[in-house]
Amino acid sequence: MNRIYEKLRLNEYFRDKLRIDASKKCLTISFNEYLHLHYLEGSYESARDEGLIFLNNHLTHWHITDDEEALEIITEFANDDIVCIEDTSVFSLCRLRIVERERFEKKKYMSKKSLRIYTGNEIIMYSD
């Protein structure tokens, strides 16, 4: 059984956000319609056995060396410590930026077109 799933399912905040696949290898945490973390559990016995957390489209990811590190990243998203800025235009080469909440300036992005700005608990802006 996925160890992170076992820890998070006891927390009321995460209860309706968790989905685990049939093989019990991949845990998906759906914070909102735009933000999904996919956690692949590792055995952590060697560098080859590390875990992975993928964000949304699997282009952005973190290599995890233990359960505490995985929980730390998940908690940062749950606590709105991280803001995701996604460019939805067809011509964008870099589709996703991750910014610490304290460095995020909403007014900087208000006039921009084709952006989604969201955190683990809030959709700040959506424009096509």
CA atoms within a 13 Å half-sphere pointing along the CA-CB vector of 124: 20
Per-residue pLDDT of the chain (128 residues; tens, 9 = 90+): 588 999 999 999 998 999 998 777 889 999 999 999 999 888 777 767 788 999 986 778 999 988 899 999 999 999 999 999 988 887 766 688 899 999 998 888 888 888 999 999 999 988 86
Output the pLDDT for position 1.
57
Strands 18-20 and 36-40: unpaired
What are the structure tokens assigned to 3, written together?
């160890």
From residue 126, alpha-carbon distances to 84, 89, 96, 111, 123 in Å are 12, 12, 14, 12, 7
Output the pLDDT for position 110.
81
